[in-house]
A and B are shown apart, each in its own frame.
Chain A
Amino acid sequence: MVSPILELSNINKSFGHVQANKDINLQINKATIHGIIGENGAGKSTLMSIVYGFYQADSGTISIHGNKLNLKSPRDSIENGIGMVHQHFMLVENFSVLENIILGFEGEFIFGKKLEEAKEKLSKLCDIYKLNIDLNSIISDLSVGFRQRVEILKALYRGAEVLILDEPTGVLTPQEVDELFKILRSLKEEGKTIVLITHKLNEIMSLTSEVTVMRQGTVVGHKKTQSTNKEELAEMMVGRSVLLRIKKNESKKGEIIFKVKNLQVKDDLGVLRVKNVNFEIHEGEILGLAGVTGNGQTELLEALSGIRKIESGEIQIFNQTVSDQNNFLNPKDLKEKGLAHVPEDRQRMGLITDFKAHENLIFGYHHQPPFSRSSVLIEDKILDYSQKVMQDYDVRPQAPELITSNFSGGNQQKIILSRELNKNPKILLVGQPTRGVDIGAIEFIHQRLIDMRDKGVAILLVSVELEEVLSLSDRIVVMFDGKIVGEKNNQGVTDREIGLLMAGIS
């Protein structure tokens, strides 16, 4: 029987109302590569930040070699042999590799013997693990792959026995990924323990011996990698929600009114996230866009709604080009063309949570009549309107003067929906309409979307809830790694088929 090197029991952690980790139990065996997989927001990174001493758990214990630890800061974790390589590197750009590694562990006031010792030790480590790093090079001259190696070397130098890597391949090229995997395997052979956090199934299958699946803050399963497969893991990751399939009639498709041609979009870091995407939506049709979070859906939605610049390709509304790489309409102009957008992140984008409900109910339409006349807001009209829509959309409590952050997630979402649907759009972009919304509100929101479809609106539904996409859409496209990897008519298609496409297996 192998004794676990790292053991977590009953870890709980919440941020405000959000429980990020719920009763997590986890055992990691020595000299293994252990994968932790789950969608963004499943609580993987929070859990590992607790292990690394960044956050303190609300309850639960962490033990290493059977000894209970009291981790107050990353320093405590480092002393106990836990190292972490973050998704975003923590390096001083204008320092050399050596300077970065000894930073905080300089040892004495004036560099001298210690520095020579450090150099020697580091060269040895580089040799053993075939890291191939020149200690004197300046970080800003190094490629991303090498910077990551510096982070690994740093952790090893500080005596890490357990090395946590948070989404290590997100920023790497395929070649760099291969190199990284070689290094990780040699680390394992030398007896180090590696925890790999990722949402990519391929990495789990090719590298790990055991895998833990997380969903919505809980552990939903442990598997030996040999005895599982991508399909099963994908199913566990995405999960099945209790969603009922909504009753709907056959759609009455009309003309194509929204068209995306060869669209390419970059994220804030300049990484291409949407790669050559093509699709069109007909009048009176819901096009579902399925995919695991982080495969370019966010950037796609932002580009379509005018928030993010497009790199190349074009977007057409009623056969008229509204955006290409040279010109693009901003959200205000697009609204006037009949495009409405329910954003994925309602708290950070869809609402101003410090505003009163009535201020959010007109957000983005505040400059139009009847809400304002020659730039003066007409308080009475806004309040009357707010009363009426809050009743129509059953927003509770029905209090236009209440600060928006006091409403529950479902009611906040209804505030956004009522705002975006009430202006009779022709095209509706909807991102994660029911994320964090209670079941009663889910049904209501779904019904409203179907009603809009039946009125002839072209709807793009982006959701990571596969069940939701299947339930609402007339046609489904699947996005993986920035590309559309498949299109299915939603008749007789199974969640298994879509799930495979979502996992990038085609």
Chain B
Amino acid sequence: MPTLIDKSKVPWWVSNVIVPLVNLMLALFVSGLFIFIAGENPIQAVKLIIYGSFGYIEGFAYTLYYTTNFIFTGLAFAVAFHCRLFNIGGEGQAYLGGLGVFLVAINFSFLPVPIVWLLAILGSVLFGALWALIPAYLQAYRGSHVVITTIMFNFIASALMVFLLVDVIRDTNQMGPQTVSVPKELWFPMFRDITQLFGIKTRYSPLNISFFLAILASFLVWFLIWRTKWGYEMRAVGHNTKAAVYAGISPKRNIIIAMLVSGALAGMLGVNEILGVHHRVIVNFPAGYGFTGIAVALMGRNHPIGIFLGAFLFGILYQGGSEVTFDMPNISRYMFVAVQGVIILFSGALENLFRPQIESFFVKRLNKESSV
């Protein structure tokens, strides 16, 4: 057993910067081994990742597009986690959020565009939050663990959406399970459109103004958690339920609030995907972003700034990874799923693997320095 150290003596930058970095390095090292075993040069692969995600303007735009999605789902997980709720239902909440966006866009398209946009964002928030409400209620009033219920609600969401896309809201001119597209004037301005304003011509990339929505959401989450009564109460319940009750704070109420906000944030992924990219609801558009968001939040220590960095890292991996699979015949798309898996493993499940050693190493060093 590692020696117990006084947690209070660990400097913040050790637990919040050094430990995640070490975990990331380990994950990249293990991933490098995979690539080496597959018969390719890991160094070359790293070069390709960096080129793919930064090397040309569309590549960078793709990176930021992925980052947008990870920010939404990462924030979603983090808010619930501040109340010590492990919401792994981001995937389903995002799926329903997309439905909300679509329904608003189709039904209110007669209103001025900015107002429809606002309503669509509200639609995503509302649908995502409602999808989290039932697990939240079951946790708060019935004690059913939110991990179990939220993951089951992912399956329910998936089945529900397939049903709707096949039988209820399918575009009847199409064979595939997808809806009609929303009116063209409601499509979010793309990165390409913006660069064109400055006279730069770029090729297509899915990056759109949802990126700014993600940044705004990050700020709002920071404000909610650290600057409002609600965030204060959620954190109190999360840290010490007994003390919260003593202070007159209702754990039930705060479990519900935290889950609603969490579901709402996950639902906003639908704004990026529907108004920004697909312009219609297609089968399984959340594509695993909900799950990756968990790793993003854990890497980012549940703080919006950390989440932004984590989301950006995963954006680089998604975009750079596709570049690698394009150029290296021995590396399949699935290899990069494995690489993400390794990163999630090291920064999520094995997050505390080396933490005690790293922390006690620094505490001992600092103690030595201060006693000299």
Contact = CB atoms under 8 A, between A and B. Distances in A.
B242 interface: yes
Contact of B246 (A16, A307, A372, A375): A307
A219 to B, nearest CB: 26
A403 B248 contact: no
Interface stretch (B34-42, B85-93, B226-234, B335-343): B226-234
A459 interface: no
B239 interface: yes
Contacts of B200: none
A349 B246 CA distance: 6
Given A350-B246, A376-B228, 11 more contacts: A348-B240, A348-B243, A349-B246, A355-B235, A364-B247, A366-B232, A367-B229, A377-B232, A403-B8, A405-B7, A406-B8
Contact of A363 (B4, B227, B230, B236): B236
A332 B229 contact: no
Contact of A377 (B7, B227, B243, B244): B227
Contacts, number: 73
B245 interface: yes
A80 B239 CA distance: 42
22 contacts: A305-B246, A330-B250, A341-B246, A348-B240, A349-B243, A352-B243, A352-B244, A353-B239, A353-B240, A354-B240, A355-B236, A363-B243, A363-B247, A364-B248, A366-B233, A372-B228, A375-B230, A377-B227, A377-B229, A379-B227, A405-B7, A405-B8
B240 A375 contact: no
A331 interface: yes
B208 to A, nearest CB: 31
A351 interface: yes
A334 B248 CA distance: 9
A16 B243 CA distance: 21
Contact of B4 (A16, A333, A343, A366): A16
A352 B236 contact: yes
Contacts of A364: 246-249
Bin chain A's interface residue count. 20 to 34
Given A351-B243, A352-B243, A376 B248 contact: no
B228 A355 contact: no
A348 B242 contact: yes
A312 to B, nearest CB: 22
A355 B243 CA distance: 12
A377 B235 CA distance: 14
Contacts of B249: 332, 364
Nearest to B246: A349
Chain B binding surface SS class: helix
Nearest to A348: B242
B240 A352 contact: yes
A465 interface: no
Contacts of B244: 352
B239 A352 contact: yes
B175 to A, nearest CB: 51
Given A335-B248, A406-B8, A350 B228 contact: no
Nearest to B237: A352
Given A348-B240, A354-B239, A307 B245 contact: yes
B236 A375 contact: no
A488 to B, nearest CB: 31
Interface string B203-242: 0000000000000000000000001111011011001101
A359 interface: yes
A372 to B, nearest CB: 5
Contacts of B232: 359, 366, 377
Nearest to A375: B229
Interface in B230-289: 230, 232-233, 235-236, 239-240, 242-250
A305 to B, nearest CB: 7
Interface in A354-373: 354-355, 359, 363-364, 366-367, 372
A307 B247 CA distance: 9
A168 B230 CA distance: 45
B367 to A, nearest CB: 15
Nearest to A333: B248
Interface string B1-15: 000101110000000
Q: Of residues B8, B236, B248, which shows the largest number of chain A Cβ atoms within 10 Å of its Cβ?
A: B248
Contacts of B250: 330
Contacts of A359: 232
A331 B242 CA distance: 12
Contacts of B229: 366-367, 372, 375-377
Given A403-B8, A406-B8, A331 B228 contact: no
B239 A343 contact: no
Contacts of B242: 348-349
Q: Which 3 A-B pairs have the closest CB atoms?
A: A332-B248, A364-B247, A331-B248
Contacts of A406: 8
Contacts of B245: 307, 331
A333 B248 CA distance: 8
Given A352-B240, A354-B239, A359-B232, A331 B247 contact: yes
A470 B371 CA distance: 45
Contacts of A363: 236, 243, 247
Contacts of B248: 306, 330-335, 364
A67 B248 CA distance: 55
Nearest to B229: A375
Contacts of A341: 246
A19 B14 CA distance: 29
Nearest to B233: A366
A331 B243 CA distance: 11
Contacts of B243: 348-352, 363
Nearest to B244: A352
Contacts of B227: 376-377, 379
A361 to B, nearest CB: 12
A119 B24 CA distance: 57
Interface in A396-438: 403, 405-406
Contacts of A332: 247-249
B149 to A, nearest CB: 25
Interface string B89-117: 00000000000000000000000000000
A361 B239 CA distance: 16
Nearest to B1: A56
Contacts of A367: 229
Nearest to B250: A330
A36 to B, nearest CB: 27
Interface in B26-65: none
Contacts of A307: 245-246
A102 B239 CA distance: 40
Contacts of B7: 405
B8 A343 contact: no
Nearest to A359: B232
A367 B244 CA distance: 13
A319 to B, nearest CB: 24
A377 B228 contact: yes
A341 B243 CA distance: 12
Contacts of A305: 246
Contacts of B233: 366
A201 B247 CA distance: 36
